[in-house]
Structure formats: C-alpha cells, structure tokens
C-alpha cells in the first residue's frame, strides 16, 4: 500500500476525529465523555476545528492512501508554541463551560500524573490510530517513519511514546520497530527509540 503522510486540516474533521477517538478511546471517553462515547466525540470534533492545542488539527498528521484517510498521528516537543497548553484548556472550557471543565480537568489529572513531558532531545508521539480496513498494510510504520524524519529535522535524538500496559498488540508493534521500554508508571509504559541525526 502506498501511504502519504500530510498535515491535517479543518476539512478532515469527519474522517479524522473518529480515528482520533479510537487512538485512545478508553481514556478519552473517560476524560471527555465521563463514560459517554458521543460526548467525547462531540468535544473532539469541536476541539479539532479550533485548530490549536492538543486536539486541534494543526498538531495532527494524516496517513492517506488514494486520498482516503487511513491513519492519524500527533506529536509534542519542547518547541511547541507558548500558548499550546492554554489553547488546549480554552478548548475544554469553551465546550463544557467552567464548572464542567473543572470536572474534565480533574479526570484528566488522574492519568496525566503517569505521563511525562518529552525531554529537550525527545519527540513524543501519540494519538496514533489506523483505520480498521487498512491495518497490517504498513500504515502505522509509515507514520512512525515520518515522525522519525520530523524528529531529525527538529534536532531530536529519540522518539518516545506512552502505551497502556494492557495494549499487547500495540506494544508488540512498537517493539518490532525498535522501541524499548524506558519506564513504567501504571497504567502506562513509556517506550523510546533512538534517532540517528541528520548527516
């Protein structure tokens, strides 16, 4: 399968957001839907269209085959805009209102304590999902390779990501690509892979 990875746009919302939710469905439904799938989907749809912040289209890339969206990926690093976290919080407060937003942030904190921000020479990748009909066709590998090159362009020396400990299929996939366990803080395992710098 020929895969092209490109920057996401607002127009991709209807194809990309279901994949974004699938990338971390258990966590995202718990945090943004309080257990309700449609509520989480509604927030992600609104946040995507804002463009900025963790769930906006500007920080996502899409894998495409024959112009069909077949995968999604995102990343974080120490060169993100200063307002990145603020824009993420604004997306939450604008969608839920202040009172409900506080509940969302509190639910998020239960998980974020087990997640680490990337170090200066690391590129953290996440929100990774491949469409059901395109799995085991090289889509995931193409997105990881794309991020490896992006990491080199940013002067990073490693890719890192967090995977739920119970997600054995994902762990096997990343291990096969050369990732190794860096640390484990339940319910996540942080994996890392060294990146050769640009010549």
Mean pLDDT of 190-197: 94
Across 1-5, 25-29, 134-138, 183-187, least confident range? 183-187
For 75-103, what is each residue's pLDDT tens digit?
A: 999 878 889 999 999 999 999 999 999 99
**pLDDT attached to residue 49:** 98
What's the chain's average pLDDT?
94
Q: Is the pLDDT of residue 43 over 80?
A: yes
4-194 folds as Aminopeptidase (3.40.630)
The predicted-structure confidence for 51-73, as pLDDT tens digits, reads as follows 999 999 999 999 999 989 999 99
pLDDT at 197: 86
Bridge partners (DSSP) of residue 60 are: 74
pLDDT at position 25 is: 94
What is the predicted pLDDT for the residue at 36?
Answer: 97
pLDDT at 30: 96
Closest alpha carbon to 152 in 122, 192, 180 = 122
Q: pTM of the predicted model, to two decimals?
A: 0.95
* High-pLDDT (> 70) share of the chain, %: 100
As given in the structure block, the two tokens for residue 180 are 């190794």
**Which pLDDT value is given to residue 80?**
81
Distances (CA, A) of 49 to 19, 28, 63, 66, 166: 15, 17, 19, 24, 32
CA 111 to each of CA 42, 52, 54, 106, 108: distance values in angstroms, whole numbers, following the listed order: 21, 22, 15, 9, 6
Task: Give, for 39, the enclosing helix (H) or strand (E).
Answer: helix 37-50
pLDDT for 134 equals 95
Mean pLDDT, rounded, for 136-148: 97
Three-state DSSP state, 80: coil
The Cα 168–Cα 156 span in angstroms is 27
Give the pLDDT score at 111.
86
Q: How far apart are CA 65 and CA 90, in angstroms?
A: 34
Return the ∠ at Cα 52 (arms to 48 and 53), rounded to 5°.
90
pLDDT in tens, 113-129: 778 788 899 999 999 99
At residue 172, does pLDDT exceed 80?
A: yes
Q: Are 23 and 162 in contact (CB under 8 A)?
A: no
Instruction: State the Cα–Cα distance between residues 34 and 84, nearest whole angstrom.
Output: 24
At residue 76, the pLDDT reads: 93
Band of pLDDT at residue 21, cut at 50, 70 and 90:
very high
Considering Cα of 26, then 6, then 88, then 44, what sign does the dihedral take? negative
- Give strand pairing partners of 163: 189
Question: 163, 171 in Cβ contact below 8 A?
Answer: yes
Distance CA 47, CA 49 (A): 5
């Amino acid at each position: 399968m020929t895969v092209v990875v490109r920057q996401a746009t607002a127009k991709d919302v209807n194809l990309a957001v279901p994949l974004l939710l699938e990338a971390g469905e258990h966590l995202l439904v718990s945090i943004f839907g309080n257990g309700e799938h449609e509520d989480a989907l509604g927030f992600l749809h609104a946040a995507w269209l804002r463009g900025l912040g963790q769930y906006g289209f500007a920080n996502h890339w899409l894998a495409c085959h024959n112009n069909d969206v077949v995968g999604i990926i995102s990343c974080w690093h120490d060169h993100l805009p200063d307002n990145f976290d603020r824009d993420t919080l604004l997306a939450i407060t604008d969608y839920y209102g202040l009172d409900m937003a506080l509940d969302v942030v509190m639910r998020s904190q239960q998980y974020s304590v087990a997640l680490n921000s990337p170090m200066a020479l690391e590129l953290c990748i996440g929100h990774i999902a491949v469409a059901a009909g395109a799995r085991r066709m090289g889509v995931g590998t193409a997105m990881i390779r794309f991020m490896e090159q992006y990491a080199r362009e940013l002067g990073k020396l490693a890719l890192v990501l967090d995977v739920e400990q119970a997600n054995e299929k994902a762990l096997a996939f990343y291990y096969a690509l050369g990732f190794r366990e860096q640390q484990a803080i339940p319910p996540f395992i942080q994996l890392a892979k060294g990146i050769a710098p640009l010549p």
